[in-house]
Amino acid sequence: MVVLLGSFAEAQQVLLEQGHKLDEKTLCRIAYRAAERVRLAQKTTGYLGHSQEDVAGRRVVISSDGGRIRLREKKRGPKTAKRRNRYHAAWREPKLFIIYVVDETGKQDTSFEPLIDGALQGPDTLFAMLANYLKALKIEEADQILFVSDGAPWIWNRLSALWDTLKLDGQNAHFLLDFYHAVEHLNKVASLRKDWSSKNRKQWLNKQRRALHQGQIDQVIESVRKLCRGRNSKAIRTQLNYFIKHRLHMNYATIAGKNLPIGSGAIESAIRRVINLRLKGPSLFWCKPNADAMLLLRAFCKSGRFSLFKSLSFSPAHALAT
């Protein structure tokens, strides 16, 4: 109830109607302690517990992205007249990843529930967690592996190290920049040409989008390069550098030919379901440990793996003692 409903108060009310009289503080302690036990169990028994699940011979897609929530961070200085601590309500970026399997037609394989997890501690922590999940799944035995994401530097700066850690074969492992984010950058280029009519802008954009989808990235780069003159040339060159930087990650025709996704919609959806609908909202400020706990709870629940959460949470006491 705490995970599915919008607040602890709502959970308390629903549980009370069902005959369970628990105050909000008790619900908080139960939820946060369960999350704490899961993290501890993952360190001692593995990120998938005692599950024998793997992805041998399957087509695996991995994606990562960040959301936004506000944290309650203590402010230095005197307390208020009511002796309460003053605090900052700083925006922070919780980061998530998703691991899922697609079938031969490119549709999500429903026989494999996706794995979603995240952290507030930063990208290094997130990628360490991701590596542990992939090791537990025996990712090296997968038939095809695709990592698709937007162009955030904190993601792409760590992918090579992740692949080296997992010792993945370059023949069946692919990096891909999300197609729709790439098109957004084409839109930015077109919008910077103030001397174009709306019709000319649309024609140019459609032509470059088709070329991009067909894998003709060099043609797209050359078309953008020709526009680096006159007004807004500096801003257009910034977009040109974006395409040059990711030119090896834009092989959309090849990936589409393998019936693998060329977009990162799965992680965008996960950000909304896990973070935005529970941790982000007007007047919502989280203490960092509590936000981490709720992030974990929502990730397991919204991926359909709450049974795994329960098995990890109720791991034998001797396994958690270390």
Structure confidence at residue 111 as a pLDDT band (50, 70, 90): very high
Structure confidence at residue 86 as a pLDDT band (50, 70, 90): confident
Q: Is residue 167 packed enough to be buried (19+ CB in 10 Å), middle (13-18) or exposed (0-12)?
A: exposed
Positive/negative CA dihedral, 56, 58, 64, 70: negative
Report the DSSP beta bridge partners of residue 65: 96
Q: How far apart are CA 71 and CA 284, in angstroms?
A: 8
pLDDT at 77: 79
Q: Is the pLDDT confidence value at 149 over 70?
A: yes
pLDDT at 318: 45
Helices (H), the chain: 8-17, 24-45, 123-136, 153-166, 179-192, 198-213, 217-225, 233-245, 252-257, 265-270, 288-302, 306-313, 317-320
pLDDT digits (tens, 9 = 90+) for 246-273: 999 999 999 999 999 999 999 999 999 9
Q: Is the pLDDT confidence value at 71 over 60?
A: yes
Report the DSSP beta bridge partners of residue 97: 64, 117
Nearest partner of 266 among 167, 86, 146, judged by Cα:
146
Contact 50, 316 (CB under 8 A): no
pLDDT at 185: 96
Task: Count other Cβ atoms within 10 Å, centred on residue 95.
Answer: 26
Single-letter amino acid code for the residue at 24: E
Q: Is the pLDDT confidence value at 297 over 50?
A: yes
pLDDT at 300: 94
Of the listed ranges 5-9, 42-46, 302-306, the one predicted with least confidence? 42-46
Contact 204, 186 (CB under 8 A): no
Between β-strands 173-177 and 69-74, what pairing exists: parallel, antiparallel or unpaired? unpaired
The 3-state DSSP class for residue 127 equals helix
Query: How far from chain centre, in Å, is Cα 259?
Result: 22
The stretch 215-231 carries a mean pLDDT of 92
Angle at 181 between CA 176 and CA 186, to 5 degrees: 115
Q: How far apart are CA 280 and CA 217, in angstroms?
A: 37
Q: Is the pLDDT confidence value at 3 over 80?
A: yes
User: What b-and-e string marks burial along 52-70, b requiring 16 or more CB atoms within 10 Å of the CB?
Assistant: eeebeebbbbbbbbbbebb
What is the token pair recorded at 260?
């693998």
Task: Count other Cβ atoms within 10 Å, centred on residue 319.
Answer: 14
pTM of the model as a whole: 0.92
Q: Is the pLDDT confidence value at 169 over 90?
A: no
Contact 269, 96 (CB under 8 A): no
Q: How far apart are CA 123 and CA 42, in angstroms?
A: 19
The 3-state DSSP class for residue 99 equals strand
The domains of the chain are located at 8-178+263-320, 181-249
Please give the share of the chain, as a percent, with pLDDT higher than 90. Answer: 79
